[in-house]
Structure 1
Amino acid sequence: MEYQNPVMEGQISRKVQTELERAWQEGVLIDSKGWMWIKVEKLHSILRTTKKNARYFVACVPDSLKQSFDGQEYVRGYKVLEHLAKNIEENGVGKKGANLEASKQYYEAINTCPTVKLRRIEYDYTLNAARKGLKKKRRTKYKIKSDELTGKPLVVRTCEFSHIRSYALYKELADQIDNGLIVNKETHRLITERGINDEHELLALCQEQQWATDWYDTFRHKFDF
């Protein structure tokens, strides 16, 4: 992965710059989706804090945003960016603020480099292709004959796969057949018009419309939420 190191001449000390360059170079992994992961052992340098504080930060990150690669623990890059942005707001003056801002610029340099962008484009292409087959896969696997929410007979020609957690906000679940329900076109239209984005909002709509709600516990169990 090639990226252009930000120009820091005169903004931070040479010692800090060297530490940041090494931490970001050795501490970043880009997965097959183009998502950035930051190695836990490098976080104290990246966050400009103590190792103890870095461990506390990691403990507060949800398990779903932590993963091991080759025996090393990593956290999702955007959580690190959030923490940097928060600390820049709160400590955005003087030497500490400059060091934090410098670390954030390294994140942005990597996040926008051609290698990462290309990987994300490839992932989106694969994901879009997979989404096209979700309706058939779910109908076949579960032998669905009726709208899973209204219970009305399924209009096979026009029925649709309706995501429970939306494609726009939860891409990591976008290609999972259990993150959706087979519904008639008019059911899906109402879900879309209401701007439903997750299982909690969908459950509220189902209760309002007196639709089926048994899918909720099944969904939560399938993904261990």
Structure 2
Amino acid sequence: MKNAWRDGVLVDEKGWIWVKKEKLHTILRTSVDNARYIAMKLPSEDKQYFNGEPYIRGFQVVAQLAKEIEENGVGKRGLALIASKEFYESIYMCDTVVRLRLEYDKDKAVARRTLKKKRKKTYNVKYDELTGDPLKLNCEFSHIRSYAIYKQYADDIDNGLMVNKMTHRLITERGINDENQLLALCQEQGWKTDWYEPYINKFRF
């Protein structure tokens, strides 16, 4: 198992941990078929190829480990599962990986401050992209997939719309976190929805 963690983990430039799919059965102490099924059920955004090999986001693996420990954490297998989870945590908390995450968060925060200016200039936006009202001086960039939950899209000018402050306030008050929730709000409020198709076609979630 130690070898599986040593040889089957990749840390990307964001400090995110990825686990090689072929090592999953060893890490989870389960069969190859079970590991393949678990991987198949994961969201596509948590699976990625590096150097031609499939990997899975580490947090998904540790979540599965926690589930297995809770349900089957007795005897030798239970001890092995706990040890496997501890290997993950030692990687996650090592100084180099922590530093990468801190740098990534800092870069995202800096980029976030430029989104309003960049989108407005790039697309020559003069009207609230949801209500159609003229943009006011205090207009804001409103993320479609929220900054807090979908940080990987946080600095993309196409993951947001230029809206007036009151529009953004309602979006925030209603707890909108993704494109489907925003679409429902637009339909409820009678706002524009022509942003939706280009958005999902661009990102292909």
TM-score by length of 2: 0.95
1:209 aligns with 189
Q: Distance in 1 between matches of 2:2 and 2:62?
A: 16
Q: Which amino acid aligns with 2:194?
A: D
CA RMSD after TM alignment: 1.2
CA distance in 2, matches of 1:96, 1:137: 53
Q: Distance in 2 between matches of 1:76 and 1:202?
A: 27
Question: Which residue of the other structure, out of 172, 178, 190, is the alignment partner of 1:198?
Answer: 178
Percent of residue pairs identical:
61
Of 147, 158, 161, 1:178 maps to: 158
- Specify every segment of 5 or more residues in structure 1 that has no aligned partner in the other structure, as ranges: 1-19
Aligned to 2:144: 164
The answer to whether residue 188 in structure 2 is matched with residue 219 in structure 1 is no
Find the aligned partners of 2:97 and 2:162 in 1 and give their Cα distance.
34
The alignment status of 1:39 with 2:26, answered yes or no, reads: no
* Candidates 47, 61, 73, aligned match of 2:54: 73
Runs of 4+ in 1 over 3 A off after TM superposition: none
The structural deviation recorded for 1:180 is 0.3
Equivalent in the alignment of 1:125: 106
Larger radius of gyration: 1
- The alignment's TM-score, normalised by the length of structure 1, stands at 0.87
C-alpha distance in 2 between matches for 1:220 and 1:40: 27
Distance in 2 (alpha carbons) for counterparts of 1:170 and 1:64: 11
Distance in 2 (CA, whole Å) between partners of 1:211 and 1:40 is 43
The Cα offsets for residues 125-159 of structure 1, whole Å up to 9 and x where unpaired, read as 1111111111111112211110011111111x211
Q: Could you list the runs of 5+ residues in structure 2 that have no partner in the other structure? A: none
Alignment of structure 1 residues 42-121 onto 2, 5 Å = 42-121=23-102
